[in-house]
Amino acid sequence: MTVTPLDIAADEYLTVAARAMRTSGGVGALDSLGWWDLLAHLGETDLRTAVFAVFRAQGRELVSSPALGGLLAQPYLEAAGLEPGTVVATVPRASARGRSVLVAVGDVTDRMLLVDRPGQGATVAEPAAVVLRPVHLPGRLALHEIDVDLSRAAVTIDEPRAGVARDRSAFLGRVALALEIVGAAEGALALAVDHATHREQFGQPIGRFQAVRHLLAWARTDCVAIEAVARHAVALDSAAPPRYGEVVKALAGRNGRRACERALQVLGGIGFTAEHDHHHHHARVLALDALLGTSAALIPPLGAWLRATNADPGFASTVLLGDPSW
Amino acid sequence: MSFPAKVGAGDPLLDVRTYAAELDAWLIGRPVCLRAVAAPISAYAARVKAMVELMAALHDGAWSRYGWPPEVGGLGGSILHRAAMWEALARHGVPGMALFEHLEVLAPTLVAHGPRPFVAEALPEFLAGRQLWAQGFSEPGAGSDLASLRTTARRTDDGWVVNGRKIWTSWARYATWCLLLARTGTPQSRHRGLTAFVVDLRAPGVEIRPIEQANGTDELAEVAFDDVHITADRIVGEVGGGWQVAMHILSHERGTFAWFRHCFLYQHLVDCLPQAAADDDAALGNALLDLAAVTATSHVGLRAHASDAPLGPLAAHPKLLLCAAEQAVYDWVLATQPDIAVDTSSDEYAVRRQEYLFSRIVTVYGGSQQMQLDTIAKQVLRLP
């Protein structure tokens, strides 16, 4: 695929991260890349780009790691003056059963877990106080629901400091999830492109039929859009417009699901089998969409917010066009 | 208005941040030229007049000369200056680029590949609104299949003679110049036998027939060329190199132009917020996502152009996303203001109706949506 000059730096990190994931698995890759140490340097554009490249790589390679929780915990640790990389944050998942389910992504056995309770500060739970219940889903995603007894736990990060960390943490987490979603959707697209190139019907590869070609071109466009907004979030970081993390995450969930659906249509029945890898990519996109706000849950409040504030939701030229570091 | 234009590397306005901030400060003062164009005007001729006056003022004040090289009358800087200028104009109430869209569709190619002495005279005239441009690509028999076009340019002793017909020629009735794609090779030569020319639309043998559009604006026209003479120095690119010129133009029309158009869509959305209802929040949120996708992908295009990298087939992505965003914004506008479909009592509704209807045809201009998808399938995904 053709790349523009802007793709190059991010693509180099992506290539390195994907290779590490393939050879060492998720947890091993984070160690070999020195990823945990990079968390203390999120203020530096280049290193931040490297931190986020890991998420797109693990989406592509269908690898699992506790990177999401590590990234989410970082602003809390910073606010509390704790050492980076020592704690992994849990993620609340909204549930129609009327309760918020706490989950952790990746293998978090023996890790200290951070639980944020808005209004009450954040608590760090020892491994002994935590029960991990594995969630068995396709997608090669290590996911656990968490039971934690916080009744006797001391508040580690008080509400004023946790409050400062909360928005920042959600922004970072949503951008990371968007990148993992695009990675997984790109994986689904690659499988479908390969299928369309080799599968023959009516005496020719189905990828010669315009109906099929257009489905795949739309899927690619869906992915390009996610990748571009996520890259802007990483590059601009705190200079991004208000609620940009929600925009990025909502767009990733919406477009990521759509790309998977288009890929599935091209694959036909084989894509709907347990034998074919498509369902792993598709299931991962669905699972990641469910974390930190589904697109369905995020989109109407974004509209309501615009309506209530009459805000101009775009970038200021001085920020986007005037930034010489692009 | 006397803005001190400082040519050269020491000019602080060459920094896009400074330029954007100073331009914003000037626009906050509500210059007279801005007041006229920012009011809703449904009559197209009146809108054109207000727009031309605005452009004249922006040129006099030197604002529109940034982003163009000094050799063609500019003050230096890159496309990022132009992107910042139109973003600011949109934010301050200018409803669209109208007949100056070709500043971002045709002009970059004229500067890169046009005959230099001519372009050095023509670009300032264009920027100042004195001499406008039209694009002569499509023909009655050649739309998506552009390489099948049949308008011919035959070599003579002192230049070329053009015969044929062009259609969907935007703003031809307001334009002085037309960038024309004509066949200089054999009838069978397809894309290899094309050459791009600059034709004076005032020349004998040119006949312009405006096309009344379904949304009430009349920016399109059909143009007939009957033995129209072109001097030899009016070739853009090389003889036989018309296809490359056309692709350069189309990569702008698809890639970077999305930035310019979407700035106005943002503003249209903000303008309609006071009429919005909670029932339509999901549609509004979706429109916001679609606009964000255009910002990010077209910004990548702007940066590529600013560093002289070709946009190539990737320009199809921002184009597709722009169409989706334009339709999402106007789907929401229609949902939230059903009156625009039927109420003829105000210019405000009339303009929104025009824009809504236009958003239904955006998937056709600059290469139909189907052609964009074909481009991605073939050149990006490399399907068989």
More confident residue, B217 or B108: B108
B273 has a pLDDT exceeding 90: yes
Report how far residue A10's alpha carbon sits from residue B126's, in angstroms, rounded to the nearest whole number: 39
The span from the CA of B310 to the CA of A300, in Å, is 38
**DSSP SS3 for A132:** strand
Which residues of chain A lie closer than 8 angstroms to B274, CB-CB? 310
Q: What is the pLDDT of residue A47?
A: 93
Largest Cα–Cα distance in chain A? 70
Interface contact flag, B299 A301, Cβ < 8 Å: no
Question: pTM of this prediction?
Answer: 0.94
- Listed by number, the residues of chain B in 344-383 with a beta carbon closer than 8 Å to a beta carbon of chain A are 370, 372-374, 376-381, 383
In chain B, residues with a C-beta closer than 8 Å to the C-beta of A244 are 292
CA distance B321 to chain A (A): 8
Mean pLDDT of all residues in B226-249: 95
Task: State how beta strands A87-89 and A112-117 pair.
Answer: parallel
Closest CA to B245 of B186, B184, B299, B298: B184
pLDDT band at B9 (very low <50, low <70, confident <90, very high): low
Phi/psi region, residue B21 (left: phi>0; alpha: psi -120 to 50; beta: rest), is alpha
* CB-based contact, A257 to chain B, within 8 Å: no
Instruction: Give A-chain residues touching B78 at CB under 8 angstroms.
Output: none
Distance between B342 CA and the closest CA of chain A, angstroms: 24
Stretch A245-260: mean pLDDT, rounded? 98
| Residue B232 touches partner A, C-beta closer than 8 Å | no
Q: Which structure tokens are listed for A12? A: 């180099």
CB contact under 8 A, B383 and A207: yes
**Between residues A211 and A318, which one has the greater pLDDT?**
A211
User: A136 exposed, middle or buried (CB, 10 Å; 0-12, 13-18, 19+)?
Assistant: exposed
Cβ–Cβ pairs < 8 A, chains A and B: 187
Beta-sheet pairing, B132-136 with B175-183: parallel
Whether A71 contacts A172, CB under 8 Å: yes
Partner A contacted by B251 (CB < 8 A): no
Q: pLDDT band at B252, cuts 50/70/90?
A: confident
Test A310 with B278 for CB contact under 8 angstroms: no
| CB of B216 closer than 8 Å to CB of B116 | no
Question: Stretch A211-238: mean pLDDT, rounded?
Answer: 97
Interchain contact B172–A (C-beta under 8 A) = no
Given this structure, which CATH class describes domain A162-310? mainly alpha
Q: Measured between alpha carbons, how far is A39 from A45 in angstroms, rounded to an integer? A: 12
Kindly list the residues from chain A whose CB atom is less than 8 angstroms away from the CB atom of residue B282. 299-300, 303
Q: Are B162 and B153 in contact (CB under 8 A)?
A: yes
**Mean pLDDT for the stretch of residues B313-318:** 93
- Taking the alpha carbons of A36, A42, A47, A53 in that order, is the dihedral positive or negative? positive
Q: Which residues of chain B are within 8 Å of residue A312 when distances are taken between CB atoms?
A: 91, 266, 270
CB spacing of B289 vs A254 below 8 angstroms: yes
Cα end-to-end span (Å), chain A:
22
All residues of chain A having their beta carbon less than 8 Å from the beta carbon of residue B293 are 225, 228-229, 251, 255
Q: Does A9 lie at the interface with B, CB-CB under 8 angstroms?
A: no
Residues of chain A found within 8 Å of residue B321, distances taken between Cβ atoms: 221, 224-225
Distance in Å, alpha carbon of B374 to nearest chain A alpha carbon: 7
Taking all residues of chain B, what is their mean pLDDT, rounded to a whole number? 92
- Spell out which residues of chain A touch residue B91, defining contact as CB-CB under 8 Å: 312
pLDDT at A154 over 80: no
Give the β-pairing of A91-94 and A87-89.
unpaired
Q: What is the average pLDDT across B206-227?
A: 90
Q: How far apart are CA B321 and CA B362, in angstroms?
A: 11
Quote the longest CA-to-CA distance of chain B.
69
Of the candidates A205, A304, A314, which has its C-beta nearest B266's C-beta? A314
**Residues of B with catalytic annotation?**
253
Shortest CA distance from B22: residue in chain A? A318
- Predicted local confidence at residue B212, as pLDDT: 87
Closest CA of chain B from A53, distance in Å: 18
Comparing A315 with A43, the larger pLDDT belongs to A43
User: How confident is residue B70, by pLDDT bands cut at 50, 70 and 90?
Assistant: very high
For A194, which residue in chain B has the nearest alpha carbon? B383
Give the pLDDT confidence score for residue A9 in this predicted structure: 61
pLDDT of residue B2: 35
Q: Is B321 on the interface with A (CB under 8 A)?
A: yes
Does the structure show a pLDDT above 80 at B1? no
Mean pLDDT of B268-281: 94
Nearest to B340 by CA among B40, B50, B91: B40
What pLDDT does B348 receive?
87
Residue A38 has pLDDT above 50, yes or no: yes
Put simply, the answer to whether A214 touches B370 (Cβ < 8 Å) is yes
A196 close contact with B: CB closer than 8 A = yes
Q: What percent of chain B has pLDDT over 70?
A: 98
Residue B8 has pLDDT above 70, yes or no: no
Phi, psi of A103 (to 5 degrees): -130, 160
pLDDT category at A2 given cuts 50, 70, 90 is very low
Interchain contact, A313 vs B83, CB within 8 Å: no
**What mean pLDDT is predicted for residues A127-143?**
92
Residues 301-320 of A with CB under 8 A from B: 301-304, 306-307, 310-318, 320
Among A1-10, A50-59, A86-95, B18-27, which stretch is predicted with the lowest mean pLDDT?
Answer: A1-10
The closest CB to that of B288, out of A6, A313, A320, belongs to A313
Instruction: Name the 3-class secondary structure at A143.
Output: strand
Q: What does the H/E/C string look like for chain B?
A: CCCCCCCCCCCHHHCHHHHHHHHHHHHHCCCHHHHHHHCCCCCHHHHHHHHHHHHHHHHHCCHHHCCECHHHCCCECCHHHHHHHHHHHHHCCCCCCHHHCHHHHCHHHHHHHCCHHHHHHHHHHHHCCCCEEEEECCECCECCCHHHCCCEEEEECCEEEEEEEECCCCCHHHEEEEEEEEECCCCCCHHHHEEEEEEECCCCCEEEEEECCCCCCCCEEEEEEEEEEEECCCEECCCCCHHHHHHHHHHHHHHHHHHHHHHHHHHHHHHHHHHCCHHHHHHHHHHHHHHHHHHHHHHHHHHHHHCCCCCHHHHHHHHHHHHHHHHHHHHHHHHHCHHHHCCCCCHHHHHHHHHHHHHCCCCCCCCCHHHHHHHHHHHHCCCC
Look at B304 and A4 and tell me if their CB atoms are within 8 Å: yes
Q: Kindly tell me if the per-residue pLDDT of A283 is higher than 50.
A: yes
pLDDT at A3: 40
Higher-confidence position of A195 and B170: A195
Q: Please say if the pLDDT value at position B4 is more than 50.
A: no
From A28's Cα to the closest Cα of chain B, the distance in A is: 32
pLDDT surpassing 70 at residue A163: yes
Q: Specify the pLDDT at position A4.
A: 43
Structural element, H or E, at residue A319? helix A317-320
> Tell me, what's the ipTM?
0.95
Interchain pair B288, A196: CB under 8 A:
no
**Do A1 and B320 lie within an 8 Å CB cutoff?**
no
B275 touches chain A (CB under 8 A): no
**B333 has pLDDT over 90:** yes
pLDDT, mean of residues A175-199: 98
Q: Does A251 touch chain B (CB under 8 A)?
A: yes
pLDDT of residue B7: 54
Does B273 sit within 8 Å of A310, measured CB to CB?
yes
Distance from CA of B295 to the nearest CA of A (A): 8
Residue given tokens 């914003």 in the structure block:
B24
* Angstroms from B185 CA to nearest CA on chain A: 31
How much of chain A, in percent, has pLDDT values that exceed 90? Answer: 79
Q: Is the pLDDT of residue B6 over 70?
A: no
**Spatial separation of the C-alpha atoms in residues B135 and B366, rounded to whole Å:** 11
C-alpha neighbours within 13 Å on the C-beta side of residue A48:
18
CA distance B266 to B96: 11
pLDDT by residue (tens digit) across B44-57?
A: 788 889 999 999 99
Contacts of B302 in chain A (CB under 8 A): 321
- pLDDT for B307: 87
On whether any CB of chain B is under 8 Å from the CB of A297, the answer is no
Q: Do residue A208 and residue B373 have CB atoms under 8 angstroms apart?
A: no
CA distance B55 to chain A (A): 20
Domain parsing of chain A, residue ranges? 1-63, 67-157, 162-310
Residue A189 — φ and ψ, nearest 5°? -65, -40
What's the average model confidence in pLDDT over A193-197? Answer: 98
Q: Give the separation between CA A153 and CA B201, rounded to whole angstroms.
A: 82
Give the pLDDT score at A250.
98
